[in-house]
Structures are given as C-alpha cells and as structure tokens.
Amino acid sequence: MYRYDEFDHAFVADRVAQFRDQVTRRLSGELAEDAFKPLRLMNGVYLQLHAYMLRVAIPYGTLNSNQMRMLAHIARKYDRGYGHFTTRQNIQYNWPKLSETPDILADLASVEMHAIQTSGNCIRNVTADHFAGAAADEVADPRPYAEILRQWSSVHPEFSFLPRKFKIAVTGAERDRAAIQVHDIGLHLKKNDKGEIGFAVYVGGGQGRTPMIAKKIRDFLPEEDLLSYTTAIMRVYNLHGRRDNKYKARIKILVHETGAEELARQVEVEFAELKNTELKLPESDIQAITTYFALPPLAERPEGWANLAGWKKADPDFARWVQQNVQPHKHPDYGMVTVSLKPIGGIPGDASDSQMDAIADLAEEYAFDEIRISHEQNIILPHVALADLEALYRGLVSIGLATANAGLITDIIACPGLDYCALANARSIPLAQEISTRFGNPDRQAEIGELKIKISGCINACGHHHVGHIGLLGVEKKGAELYQITLGGSGDENTSIGEIIGRGFEPEKVTDAIETIVNTYLSLRKDASEIFLDAYRRVGPQPFKDALYGSNAQAAA
C-alpha cells in the first residue's frame, strides 16, 4: 500500500498543528462558531444529535493492521469503544470530544491517516473496488489511480470550494463492485484493442433527493490523461454548477440540465487546453505509484485444496461461511474473505475496539497485513490462503464476526439514521436489526439467495436505498417515522434506481412488508438461480404491489 513520503508526513503534521491551534482558539472563545465550523468540517468534525462525530478517511478503503489497531485505540481512548464503518469506506466515531480531536488527529497522523476532506464541498475520499488487486476478473488494480487522484485532489486550491461535495469511484473490473454509476465521476479501468490501459468515464451519477445514473462521456481515456481530463470535468462543473440552490448543486443536475453530449463537448474543449500540460501523467509516475500496490508474495499453497474439502465436510457452519464469504482470488490457492460486520440482529458496520484489534492480528497472521473496508460496510481480507481459512474462521468465530451472510438478505447496509444523525428523519439501525433477526435463519437466507437491502434515514441516501434490491427510506410524517419501500435498485454494472412500490409503512409493519415481498419473490421466481433482482426485472412491480396492497393491505394511510 501507499506509504507517506516526507512531504506527506510534514503536510499532515502541519495540518494537525493548525487544527490544534484552531480548536484552542475556539475553546477560549477567540474564534466564534461561525468562523470555526467550516474549519472543523475541513478536518472531518461534525456535530450530530448527541455529540461531535469524527469521520476518518480510509483511502479507497485500504489499510494495514497497524492502522486498524490505531482505529481501535482511538475508539478505546477517545470514544465509547467502537467505530462505524461507512458506505464510503471510511470510519466514523460518534462520541469524540472537540477538545480531544487534535490528539486523535495526531494519533492518526502517526499511522499515516487523517480526516482531511471527509466533509465540505471538495473532492472526498476516492473509493474503489474492495477486491482491488486480488480479484480474478480485474483488468488492472484501481488503487494506484485512486491514489494519484487522492494526491492530486488533496487541498487542491481550485477545487476546495466547489458548488457541492464531489465523489469519485474507480473500478478495475467489468463487474462493478464500486457502484461507479452513482458517483459524480465513475472510472472504469479497461484495456483497448491495443492492450493499453485507460478508463471509461462516467459523469453525473448520484443518489440523494434526485437519484441519477451517470452518463458515459468517454469510452476510452488513456491513463496518461487521467488528471487532465478529470481537471477538465472539474473546471466545467466549478464554472457552471449551480451555487444558487444547494439541492441542485451536484454535477448530476448540471449534466441533466446541460445534456451529457453538450457537457462532454465542454469537457473536451477544456481537455484540449490541458492535455499536454504538466497534468499529463508520465508512465514513470504511474509505475512508481503502482509499485506501492504490488501483490504480496503469494507462495504456492496447494495443500489448501485438500484441507478445505475435509474441513468443509467436518463442519457445515464452516462450509457455509466459505460458500458465502470467500470469493475466488486471482491466485488459485488463495481466497478473498469478507468479514461480515452484519451479525444477526447487530448494528451494520459497527465494530468494537477489541474486534478491530483482533482483525488486525488476523490480517497480520493470515492476510499479508492487508485489510479493506467495503462500501457495503464489511471488512475484507483480500489475500488469504485456502490452507489458512479454517484457522482464520476460528479466529473470527471467537470475536463474533463469522456470520456467513455476505450478499444475503441480512447483509444490510444502513446509515446511522436518527439514532445519531442530525439530518435524519427516521431511524435506520433498529429496522436493520429487526429485519436481520427475522431472516437470520441460515437455511432461510440461503433459500432466498442474493438480496441486497439498503436503508437510509433521510433523503440524502447515505444508506444507498436507491440502489438496494429492496430499499427503505425513512421519512417523518405527522411527527412519526414512516418508511417508503423501493424495489429493483442496483449499484453494479447494470445500475438501476429502485421504484417506489406504494404507500409507506409504519416502523412496526416494515419487516412484515419485507417478508411479503420475499415470499412473493419466492413464489414467482423461475428457479433458485433467478435472484430477486432478476425476478423483479422480469415481472415488474405489479405482483409485489398486489401482495402488499391487495385486499389484505397493511400499508399506512
């Protein structure tokens, strides 16, 4: 993974010292809140319902054991013993004291981490496929390009005060695991006919109150033009993006109002000016960054195949976990492990300090010290020998993180919702817990198959409900929580926005409604290989509407 150079160390240390001074002046009253608020936000410090919240950047979701241990240490020393991994591959702490945030940032800096640009109208943490570097279907590792974008966008003077926040995602495979089509810019790494690396460029995707699927404005952008072309997009957006209305300020609105074709033309005009400037990426620079992301030395471990067969036969729970949570690695003797942060009835994305410490130990012992955070709020160990799976599994069982549900109905994404968030209208976590508990039986989950439920507590859609196979959006109606259900959303290479199925449901009726939807799906699918999303796309919403709102309708008025 990328290691800070002297410049990086000095830059982050200076920033910590600067923020320490700002906090000191705020607490003494020298700085008023109006002046201080934008400064704290630039360092990831929000004010939520109960306390401040600190959002720490995990660049493209990649970290090592030492860094994970520091996240555990911060949870233990400065917070209440846990952290929340987010849909943007970051971690949030829910109870930090403002007075201690400079110390937290100093501790983070000691392991080459920070909270810069995790808020504000700037380019946020660049996200990437959580299986990057390990996936068998990968054209190239997206992380070097995400790192180049991170360095370029960090405190970029021209793009620190954009009309609105800006999110970039990169995927390196045809199978999109980074949801690039619902990002402001989505980059799909590919090869052209000559075998050269480049990107398909998507612009103007996003969720929130106006969900939009990104438009492809370039089918193949040579890798050397990554920064010049991205700068061209940013310039067009910075110039023409709306600053008169916060709700219309994202680039998706500009793309929609301008038209993708005209926007692409404007970008090309800017690009022509920038193409052969210092923004052109020399091959040597790309290679230098790529070196940081070299595959670890994966020794041949063929004994794992025979071992695995025996272990699976001896322990059905282990077999189920391998079946569900281990994906094929590009090296046949290895697997990519999803450590589910969705224990049955648990809080999606939360991990305790001791769990984080234990994950760090397990990653060091069995996964070459590499850890990822997925946008689906799970932890990934990308390089684990099949021969080590059983020992790893035992370790995960001992810390309560061996739930075999990756991609299943209980692998629910949920935002913090009204239990924490100052923007939320309704709670997300208790719903996730209730649905998880209802469907927690392993056999039942297996029968239902792949089904992604995503829950947001407000229209800002941090819980990605628009792209959930089943999406739940919490709203406030007459002072009470009400949940809209959307069906048919997807955040992969065939991205779709879910359709609102009908009237909303009161909290106590939501899980029954989900059960009705699931039973309807089970009754109409062609066979077990037709997953919920495919069945929905084949039959449309009507059978589900009939089941939900027929003569035995249970919807709230």
Partner 1 sequence: MADKVLTANRLSDGISVWLDASGNWVESLQDAFVARHAEAVTALEATGKAAFADNKVVDVNVIDIEEVSGVLRPLRLRERVRAEGPTIDYAPGYKGLTGPVQAA
Name the site residues for partner 1 (rule: CB under 8 A).
Answer: 26-27, 29, 32-33, 47-52, 80-82, 94, 96-99, 347, 350, 352, 418-420, 424-427, 429-430, 433, 476, 479-481
Given the complex with partner 1, which of 81 and 550 has the nearer CB atom? 81
State in angstroms the smallest separation of the CB of 429 from partner 1: 5
Nearer residue to partner 1 within complex by CB, 77 or 538: 77
Q: In what order do the strands lie in the sheet with 168-171?
A: 127-128, 168-171, 185-191, 197-203, 215-222
For the beta carbon of residue 4, count every other beta carbon within 10 angstroms.
Answer: 14
Nearer to partner 1, 433 or 486 (CB): 433
CA distance 548 to 136: 41
Query: 169 vs 424, which CB is nearer to partner 1?
Result: 424
CB of 396 or CB of 418, closer to partner 1: 418
Residue 49 C-beta: closest distance to partner 1, Å? 5
Q: How far is CA 169 from CA 124, 181, 238, 370, 475, in A?
A: 10, 9, 19, 20, 28
Q: Are 70 and 111 in contact (CB under 8 A)?
A: yes
Distance of closest approach, residue 337 Cβ to partner 1, in angstroms: 25
DSSP 323-376: HHHEEEBSSTTEEEEEE-S--TTS-TTEEEHHHHHHHHHHHHHHSTTEEEE-TT
**CB of residue 299 vs partner 1: minimum separation in angstroms?**
39
| Shorter beta-carbon distance to partner 1: residue 51 or 344 | 51
Largest CA distance in the chain: 69
CB of 54 to partner 1, least distance (A): 10
Between residues 388 and 481, which has the closer beta carbon with respect to partner 1?
481
C-alpha–C-alpha distance, residues 184 and 208, integer Å: 12
Following DSSP, what letter does each residue of 258-306 receive, concatenated? H-HHHHHHHHHHHHHHHTTSTTSPPHHHHHHHHHHTPPP-----THHHH
Pairing of strands 470-477, 480-487: antiparallel
In the complex, what is the shortest distance from the CB of residue 423 to partner 1, in angstroms, rounded to a whole number? 10
Tokens linked to 494? 């065939």
CB of 27 to partner 1, least distance (A): 6
* CB 453, min distance to partner 1, A: 17
Nearest to 325 by CA among 346, 340, 307: 340
3-class secondary-structure state, position 410 = coil
Reading the block at residue 236, the tokens are 């067009």
Cα dist from 137 to 106, 328, 494, whole Å: 39, 10, 17
d(CA 385, CA 363): 12
- 418 vs 518, which CB is nearer to partner 1? 418
Q: How far is the CB of 466 from partner 1 (least distance, A)?
A: 23
Toward partner 1, which CB reaches closer, 227 or 482? Answer: 482
- By three-state DSSP, how is residue 505 classified? strand
- Least Å distance between CB 372 and partner 1? 24
- Reading the block at residue 397, the tokens are 């069982």
Residues for the chain: how many in total? 557
CB nearer partner 1, residue 496 or residue 511: 511
Q: How far is the CB of 431 from partner 1 (least distance, A)?
A: 11
Pairing of strands 499-500, 480-487: antiparallel
3-state secondary structure 174-233: CCCCCCHHHCCEEEEEEECCCCCEEEEEEECCECCCCCECCEEEEEEEEHHHHHHHHHHH
Q: Which residue number, 355 or 495, has a Cβ lying nearer to partner 1?
A: 355
**Least separation, in Å, of the C-beta of 308 and partner 1?**
34
Q: Given the complex with partner 1, which of 48 and 151 has the nearer CB atom?
A: 48
Tell the smallest beta-carbon distance from residue 33 to partner 1 (Å). Answer: 5
In the chain, the N- to C-terminal Cα span, in Å, equals: 53
Indicate the residue among 476 and 530 with the shorter CB distance to partner 1.
476
Encode 361-387 in three state secondary structure. Answer: HHHHHHCCCEEEECCCCCEEEEEEEHH
